[in-house]
Structures are given as C-alpha cells and as structure tokens.
Amino acid sequence: MATAVTGVNEFDIFTCPICLEKLKCPKSLPCSHSFCEVCIGEFILSTERRTGHKLSSYPCPVCRAVVTPTNPDDETSQWSSSLPQNLSIPSKMDQSESRKQECHLCIRQNVQNVATHWCRDCSEAFCDDCLRLHNLMKISADHKVVKIREGITKCASGGDSDFSFNSDKCSVHTSKILEAFCFDHQELCCLLCVTAQHRKCDNVQAFEELKNLNTDGIESFESKLKEVKAKAEELIEEKKSNYEKLSSSFKDIELAAKTSATSIKDRVDILLSSFLKELNITRDEQKTVFEDKLKAAENLLGRVISLMKTTKSVREYGTLNHIFIHLKRSENELKSRIEEARTILNVKSVDGAGFAINNKLHQVEKAYRFGEIDFAMKCQFI
C-alpha cells in the first residue's frame, strides 16, 4: 500500500491518499495524515487479510507510522469509526459536487464557462467557443464529440439501451473506482484490489496504459453477438416447428388409439383409459420440456439483443475505460448466458411420436397395455 500512495501530494489536505479523491468523512491518524473513513477501514481490513491473523496495530498508509487502536478488543472493521474526525477539512472543502461541468480549456485560462460538448478522444469538456477552436485544429478535427446534455438525457431516460457501463465502481470495494485490469486473473481492479489481491501479478495494467488499444475487441464482440442472435432465432423457429409436429403426432396417436378401441369390449375400454392417461402425462411432460427450451432460447435472444444495443451505445458515447469495462463484463455474461442456455437445450427431448397396435390386442385376457408410443430423441446444441 505504501507503494500505491507515494505519488500523492501530501500538501493537498483535501485529497485522500488512498482513493486520490476528495476526502469523505475524513478521519485522522496520530501522525496527522487524514483519510476517508471507508478507505482507511478497507486498508486496515486488507492489511489484516494479508497477515492472516487479528491485528494489534497497523501502519499509516503514507508514512508507515505504527498506529495502535484505542479499542483493540473490538472488531477490526470498527477501528476506523473510532478514529477522531478531522473537523477542519469539511469546513474548508469546496462543495462543488453539484456544479455543472465546466469547460476544461477555459479553466486553463482562468475563465469559467459551462461546457456543452464532450470529446471522447481528448476526454475533455468544451464550451461552444472552445469547441469551434477544437474542431478547427487538424489534429482534432476527426475526434468523436457528443453533446453533454444529450448524453445525460439518454442515460437518464434509459431507452432501449443499458447504460450500466457508466458504473465504474469496484464490485469488491464499492466505494472505489475501477482503475486497472489484471490480465493474469482477467479481473477489473480498483486501487485497493491491486494492492491487496494483485500485488504479485505480472500483468496488471492501468486503464491509462490501455488507451492506445483499438476497438477490435468490441467489434469482435459485436460480431459474436450477431452470430449468437442468428443461432437463437434459428433455434426458436426450429423448436416451434418441431413442437407443432409433435403436437400433431400426439393427436394422430390419440385418434388411432380410439379407433382401435371401438372394436374391443370391456377389457379394451380399461386398457384404453389407462393408455390415454399415460399419453396425456407424457404429452404434458414433453410440452414442459419444449417450453423450457423455447424459453431458454428466447431469453438468450432477448439478452443478446440488449447487449447489442448496449454495446452500440458504449461505442458511441462511452470512454475507452467504459468500453473496456463493458467488453470484459459483457463477454463473461454472454459466455454465462450461452452455457445456461446450452445446459437446458442439451436435455434430451422427443422429436417425433407414433402409435403401434399391440400384437396381443386380440387376446384381451393376456394384454397388459393398450399400445406403445415411439419417440425419436434429439439433442440440440448451440
């Protein structure tokens, strides 16, 4: 953890040395360094997990000074809440969270103007005047620029697209932002993840180091989505057709059985009743199997279409970080959805049925069943 925070400007009293963001509920250590309560709490727990035993003390993440908790018998997760709160910082911090996005170019000129557009390639916001300068420059003339208000409106309204790619929060440390990717474990990581779980990994790269990657990955993923979509649509049509044939087969069996039964007396009536009961039970069982397979294919198709729309939106409005996060998450989800559908579709089911008269039907006293149902079994793969 010491390595992770050495680049922090210790004179910036408003910045947490762990998450590198504005301090939230600042807590002070005896060495006078302040941290977000959640950040220092997660640091303490990470330190304890690495040691493998309950701590009696812990180092300051900045200066490594040893800190002895005032309540060592309490749960480690409660140590951060008992630290003294730095009351001087909240009173001085600039509460600018609710302000509108300002033009980055104007800020550099010590001017304040509300930004109206966002350049995805530059990762900067521009007002109308600065945008005209940006578009006149040859090096940035072809950059992808979107209106900030449009992006916010579309995200808020939701529409047909899933804008969850905008959530770059860490799923493990929910108060932290995803900043890197571990290629060894194929995991998205925040700063605490890198420090606690991936310190010894050989191939961990920050998102900033990945900005030069092209969009081959997202294009390949879109191609895969189209392929799975086509296959899912084909499966749905095939299953509907097969079930119609099977239903027709069951009707034919019922008609044949009833026709044969009319020429037989009391014993045949009993056998017919027993057979029809078995037939109805079998038909209901097979209907359930086909409905489950049809539902699995339809669910897969629905999710694939949703991912296609989301992926298109990511490509148009997301940053490279968002594209990378969305790609990795969506690839895993698609793989999981395909495996889930494959598990259901691979269950054996009948593909046809027929009716056969029992050869001993004329010897009613010796008969033990009315007839046989012949099934043609078939497995379906994606």
Instruction: Say if CB 191 and CB 168 are below 8 A apart.
Output: no
Mean pLDDT calculated for residue range 46-66: 86
- The residue ranges of DSSP E strands in 99-208, in sequence order, are 117-119, 124-126, 145-147, 180-182, 187-189, 204-206
Last residue of a domain, one of 188, 210, 232: 210
362 and 315 within one domain = yes
Query: Average pLDDT, stretch 45-58?
Result: 86
Mean pLDDT confidence for 107-134: 87
| Amino acid (1-letter code) at residue 114 | V
pTM of the model: 0.33
Tell me the pLDDT band of 86, cut-offs 50, 70 and 90: confident
Above 60 in pLDDT, residue 285?
A: yes
**Is residue 192 located within the same domain as residue 122?**
yes
> What is the enclosing helix (H) or strand (E) of 246?
helix 216-261
Tell how far CA 216 is from the center of its chain.
20
For the segment 247-280, what is each residue's pLDDT rounded down to a tens digit?
A: 888 888 888 888 877 766 666 677 778 888 888 8
358 shares its domain with 307: yes
Instruction: Give the Cα separation of 62 and 60 in Å (integer).
Output: 5
- How far apart are the C-alpha atoms of 250 and 351, rounded to whole Å? 12
Residue 97 lies in a domain: no
Residue 154 has pLDDT above 60, yes or no: no
Q: Answer yes or no: is 98 within a domain.
A: no
β-strands 187-189, 180-182 pairing: antiparallel
Provide the edge-to-edge strand list for the sheet that holds 124-126.
124-126, 117-119, 145-147
For 379, which DSSP code?
Answer: -
Residue 125 lies in a domain: yes
Q: Using pLDDT thresholds of 50, 70 and 90, give the confidence band for residue 120.
A: confident
Short-list 217, 211, 168, 210, CA closest to 193? 168
Domain boundary among 158, 186, 210: 210
Shared domain for 26 and 164, answered yes or no, is no
The one-letter amino acid code at 94 reads D
pLDDT at residue 11 greater than cutoff 50: no
Please give the tally of structural domains in the chain: 3
Query: Do 155 and 303 reside in the same domain of the chain?
Result: no
Q: Are residues 293 and 347 in the same domain?
A: yes
> Cα–Cα distance between 58 and 79 in angstroms, integer?
11
Could you say which of 162, 187, 210 is where a domain stops? Answer: 210
Distance between CA 240 and CA 232 in Å, rounded? 12
Instruction: Tell whether 371 and 222 lie within a shared domain.
Output: yes
Averaged pLDDT score across all residues of the chain: 78
Dihedrals phi, psi of 217, to nearest 5 degrees = -60, -50
The CATH number of whichever domain residue 50 belongs to comes to 3.30.40.10
Residue 128: band (very low, low, confident or very high) from pLDDT cuts 50, 70, 90: very high
Cα 141 to Cα 124: distance, rounded to the nearest angstrom: 14
Residues 229, 343 within the same domain: yes
Considering the domain architecture, whether residues 112 and 244 belong to the same structural domain is answered as no
Residue 99 lies in a domain: no
- 304 and 190: one domain? no
Tens digits of residue pLDDT in 332-357? 988 888 988 888 888 777 777 887 76
Q: Which domain holds residue 172?
A: 104-210
